[in-house]
């Protein structure tokens, strides 16, 4: 492919949420002659990547600047990708579709809000981790796996008992944290959680009051994830169905056992590492019976099906087919 335009929020390896976009962009850049990233802001320069920033203090102005930046890059363009922001696809469509340039949305989330519905209609194709990780049923959806930079994670020796559980991600009701915290309490294990509470601050306070024995902390830089995985025995993820959290694949790439409820993880986790989302007793029992040894077979699955290289190949194939 000669030229690809990739629209995303931010290129920042220090961002605790969006840093994983950087290796994705790097993998795409190694596979095309020219990669243009249209983003709000960028703090890093990457080989074979040209950046157009559209940041502005007001949303309307950002939208106008986004469209202007994209319009300048459509000559000779073989495809446009909107990364995790359906609004980018909606804004891009009037410019891109009349030129018959493929417009692909990469999106993985559980909520089918109106902008997602609009984006699905105007895109030529949609890429997601799995057909079940896109919130709408559509023949446009292609499951291509997640994009994990497996080399960022290594298998460390399991720490000494007692069992220490880890939870990562926003403090959001969608994460099913009450079930996790109650199961940890019943199993009598130590639990450490890290995440942002900027949207659900009151919810985090309620959790802290109800479960004072748990360590509910703030977000951590992406660079600290390997250390967190190394000192933990298990990651627990209870995100509602439809949104396969990236951190599950990152923990698995570190050979860390993962207990998860989302059905989408059935290609990664065996039955003994999965539980029903609201079954506190079942999760507590799995924690009591957990084998504390590392699971290198999980890393092998991530490397084969969910590496950033596999993701980039799948995304480009989706653009070509669109």
* Beta bridge mates, 37: 6, 51
pLDDT at 243: 82
Q: Are residues 248 and 116 in the same domain?
A: no
Strand pairing partners for 11? Answer: 42
Nearest to 192 by CA among 227, 223, 157, 222: 227
For residues 293 and 158, membership in a common domain is answered with yes
> Are both 86 and 200 inside the same structural domain?
no
Binning the chain into helix, strand and coil, the percentages to the nearest 5 are 40, 20, 40
Q: What is the CATH number of the domain that holds 157?
A: 3.40.50.2000
pLDDT of residue 33: 98
Residues 88 and 226 both lie in one domain: no
Residues 137, 173 within the same domain? no
CA distances from 79 to 5, 100, 123, 278 (A): 6, 9, 11, 42
The SS3 of residue 26 is helix
Same domain, 9 and 129: yes
Question: Are residues 181 and 102 located together in one domain of the fold?
Answer: no
Query: Same structural domain for residues 274 and 312?
Result: no
CB contact at 8 A, 1 and 32 = yes
- Tell me how many domains the chain contains: 2
Q: Which two tokens stand for residue 40?
A: 């709000």
- Report the alpha-carbon distance of residue 86 to residue 81 in Å, rounded: 10
Range of the domain at 184: 150-304
Q: Could you give the count of Cα atoms lying within 13 Å of 244 in the half-sphere of its Cβ?
A: 28
User: Do 254 and 178 share a domain, yes or no?
Assistant: yes
User: Model-level pTM?
Assistant: 0.94
Q: Do residues 133 and 37 share a domain?
A: yes
**CB within 8 Å of 202: residues ≥ 6 apart:** none
Q: What pLDDT, on a 0 to 100 scale, did the predictor assign at position 263?
A: 94
H or E segment to which residue 228 belongs: helix 225-230
Q: What is residue 197's predicted lDDT score, i.e. its pLDDT?
A: 81
CA 16/CA 13 separation, integer angstroms? 8
- Return the pLDDT at 16: 78
**pLDDT, position 266:** 95
- Look at residue 75 in the predicted model and tell me its pLDDT: 97
Q: Which residues of the chain have pLDDT under 70?
A: none
Buried b / exposed e along 127-150 (16+ C-beta atoms within 10 A): bbbbebbbbeeeebbbbbbbbbbb
Domain identity same for 13 and 128: yes
Size of the chain in residues: 322
Longest pairwise C-alpha distance within the chain:
61
pLDDT at 222: 86
Q: Are residue 39 and residue 162 in the same domain, yes or no?
A: no
- DSSP H or E stretch at residue 321: helix 308-321
């Amino acid at each position: 492919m000669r030229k690809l335009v990739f629209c995303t929020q931010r290129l920042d390896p220090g961002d605790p949420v969006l840093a994983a976009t950087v290796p994705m962009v790097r993998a795409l850049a190694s596979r095309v002659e020219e990669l243009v990233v249209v983003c709000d802001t960028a703090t890093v320069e990457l080989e074979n990547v040209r950046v157009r920033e559209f940041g502005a203090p007001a949303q309307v102005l950002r939208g106008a600047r986004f469209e202007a930046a994209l319009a300048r890059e459509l000559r000779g363009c073989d495809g446009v990708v909107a990364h995790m922001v359906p609004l980018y696809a909606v804004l891009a469509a009037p410019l891109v579709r009349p030129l018959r340039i493929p417009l692909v949305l990469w999106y993985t989330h559980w909520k089918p809000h109106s902008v997602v519905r609009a984006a699905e209609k105007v895109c030529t194709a949609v890429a997601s981790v799995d057909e079940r990780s896109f919130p709408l049923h559509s023949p446009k959806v292609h499951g291509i796996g997640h994009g994990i930079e497996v080399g960022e994670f290594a298998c460390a020796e399991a720490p000494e008992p007692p069992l220490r559980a880890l939870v990562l991600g926003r403090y959001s009701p969608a994460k099913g944290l009450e079930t996790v915290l109650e199961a940890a309490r019943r199993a009598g294990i130590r639990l450490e959680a890290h995440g942002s509470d900027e949207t659900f601050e009151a919810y985090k306070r309620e959790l802290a009051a109800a479960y004072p024995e748990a360590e509910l902390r703030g977000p951590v830089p992406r660079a600290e994830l390997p250390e967190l995985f190394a000192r933990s025995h298990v990651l627990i993820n209870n995100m509602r169905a439809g949104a396969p959290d990236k951190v599950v694949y990152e923990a698995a790439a570190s050979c860390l056992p993962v207990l998860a409820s989302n059905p989408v993880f059935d290609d990664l986790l065996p039955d003994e590492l999965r539980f029903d989302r609201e079954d506190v007793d079942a999760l507590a029992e799995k924690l009591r019976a957990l084998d504390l040894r590392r699971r290198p077979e999980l890393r092998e699955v991530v490397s084969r099906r969910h590496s950033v290289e596999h993701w980039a190949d799948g995304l480009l194939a989706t653009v070509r087919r669109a």
